[in-house]
Structure 1
């Protein structure tokens, strides 16, 4: 089965560079992946984060589309609970007009930040915590495709003078909560295994496809599985480099918030952890795809078969930009 490889970029704040360099490092990675033949490149949305430096994916998407040539570029995703569906539709329809057949609009339900950040984004209103997510997602699609019913109060609104160039619509999920909704509304579905591999199962795609077929949209659906992946020349080196991302996740579970640690610092911390936390670290690492290019490809093929999904997107977070570039280069050379 032919597999498409794609990228989900969280724009990590690499310890190897000044913090304000993070967006430009995403640009560097996107150019490399475009050259290597990756199919799609998405950027994530995070707010008030010390680890990830992209609170406004629509701006970075537009810039990346302007400096790459072949890849589809998009959001993975816009956190729709914060925003007006009309404004999101306007931004991405404009990009689809400027870069035809290359723009994706992926949306998510999560806040992408703290409760305080959600309050600030909603001010002077009250955050809705995703209460209107399904309505907003339906309205967003209606604006993009100009299919709001005649009785809808916004039916007469035109997003662009010509709505023919359209972004491809995707919905993000991590444990199945959005799968049925995506199928009902006719969105494509991207499943974020990198967030919660323990609760990310092939049955989620099955449920999505059932809902999609039942809705009889009249067009085909697409699915993508996003995994955490770190590749290096040797398995030992790959596991060492993965330590930065693994420990960040473990620290978050412990309620700690600090800059990325170097791989050496992670190993030193690991040695001093109690056995229970060492086991938690090992469990997180086991949910990642880590190893040599051949080992990573074997795992990618296994997951593709298991989930019945022909597109795998990789999320790679490392302490240094050089290690992140190396990871995508090593796997991309086998495309």
Structure 2
């Protein structure tokens, strides 16, 4: 049985507000909980008109209060902005609120442009130079194995509870996979960002894994998927995705295109080349076709789990996509 999870960027679709996007995240989390998805991750972004969640840790508290059993986590928190000990406290508190349901996924990307990154970091953004040490510090904080000279050695991690969040490394290159292997933590490769060589990264992670925080490797692939009832609906949704890819490639800071915008947009040769180049990062179609491609991707990655990102031109289409995918894979809610 394939384990499926959800990655949500809280997209702001053209014609809707950020408040609409936040409400749609709450609705989707409840649906994913009902449908049998394994976990629900929220991504951190800053200064982007197309996404509306700069604070996953706040959103997760809300989602935990309206769901029953699905795991909740960050996919991910952008660790270079934060002190590892403070981040550990935040997610330890979430774990206290929702025992055995919290994931702490970390990444090193800025989640926005460099000017915004410096604003978020109060002028001290270091481009992720200290990221490997920050992740090692998180492992040491949760394991109680910080070196004697570390500033947080012996400091009480609050709240004091018997469980810990699951710790995950997120990445789209060999760097993240090898660091996760070295530190002995779970790893999720962002196929929706880099569709070129993720299988090799996942294989290297498994081969070089050193038991520490986890006893054995656990690898997931995060993939962009849209399921639709008909080929015509899938094609319409794909046109909106194409427009979004073009906007991103050209550096346009805009809301997510609606289905109507995607259907009326015309392109020149440069834009068509961008669309063609980006096709490999998406799986879009009717449930049977999507399921076949998703299973093939899982096999290539030897993935323990697939984490599905769906950014569609309407919130209703996004909900429907996750319903169709759950049905195609016969997901069931486990007690």
TM-score normalised by L of structure 1: 0.93
Conserved? CA contact 1:293–1:331, under 8 Å: yes
SS of the residue 1:152 aligns to: coil
SS of the residue 1:333 aligns to: helix
Alpha-carbon separation, structure 1, partners of 2:308 and 2:159: 36
Alpha-carbon separation, structure 2, partners of 1:115 and 1:105: 24
Q: For the structure 1 residues 196 and 246, does the alpha-carbon distance in structure 2 shift closer, same or farther, using more than 3 Å as the test?
A: farther
The CA deviation at 1:295 is: 1.0
Q: Which residue of 1 aligns with 2:106?
A: 107
2:92 equivalent to 1:87 = no
Alpha-carbon separation, structure 1, partners of 2:193 and 2:142: 28
Q: For the structure 1 residues 10 and 293, does the alpha-carbon distance in structure 2 shift closer, same or farther, using more than 3 Å as the test?
A: same
SS of the residue 2:175 aligns to: coil
Conserved? CA contact 1:86–1:140, under 8 Å: yes
The CA deviation at 1:217 is: 5.9
Q: For the structure 1 residues 85 and 217, does the alpha-carbon distance in structure 2 shift closer, same or farther, using more than 3 Å as the test?
A: closer
2:305 equivalent to 1:311 = yes
Within 5 Å, give how 1:129-148 maps onto structure 2: 129-148=127-146
The CA deviation at 1:318 is: 1.3
The CA deviation at 1:274 is: 1.9
SS of the residue 1:178 aligns to: helix
Q: Which residue of 1 aligns with 2:253?
A: 257
Deviations 1:87-134 (A, max 9, x none): 1000001111111110000000100011111111222x5211101001
TM-score normalised by L of structure 2: 0.93
Within 5 Å, give how 1:205-216 maps onto structure 2: 205-213=202-210
SS of the residue 1:104 aligns to: strand
Q: Could you list the runs of 5+ residues in structure 2 that have no partner in the other structure?
A: 331-335
Conserved? CA contact 1:45–1:54, under 8 Å: yes
Q: Which residue of 2 aligns with 1:20?
A: 19
Q: Which residue of 2 aligns with 1:195?
A: 193
Q: For the structure 1 residues 54 and 111, does the alpha-carbon distance in structure 2 shift closer, same or farther, using more than 3 Å as the test?
A: same
Alpha-carbon separation, structure 2, partners of 1:23 and 1:60: 9
Q: For the structure 1 residues 152 and 18, does the alpha-carbon distance in structure 2 shift closer, same or farther, using more than 3 Å as the test?
A: closer
Q: Deviation above 4 Å: which 4+ runs of structure 1?
A: 215-218
Which of 260, 285, 295 is the matching residue for 1:291? 285
Q: How many pairs does the alignment contain?
A: 329
Q: For the structure 1 residues 103 and 146, does the alpha-carbon distance in structure 2 shift closer, same or farther, using more than 3 Å as the test?
A: same
Q: Which residue of 2 aligns with 1:204?
A: 201
Alpha-carbon separation, structure 1, partners of 2:214 and 2:312: 42
The CA deviation at 1:309 is: 0.7
Conserved? CA contact 1:242–1:317, under 8 Å: no
Alpha-carbon separation, structure 1, partners of 2:144 and 2:162: 10
Conserved? CA contact 1:236–1:291, under 8 Å: no
Q: Which residue of 1 aligns with 2:56?
A: 57
SS of the residue 2:217 aligns to: coil
SS of the residue 2:89 aligns to: helix
The CA deviation at 1:161 is: 5.1
SS of the residue 1:184 aligns to: helix
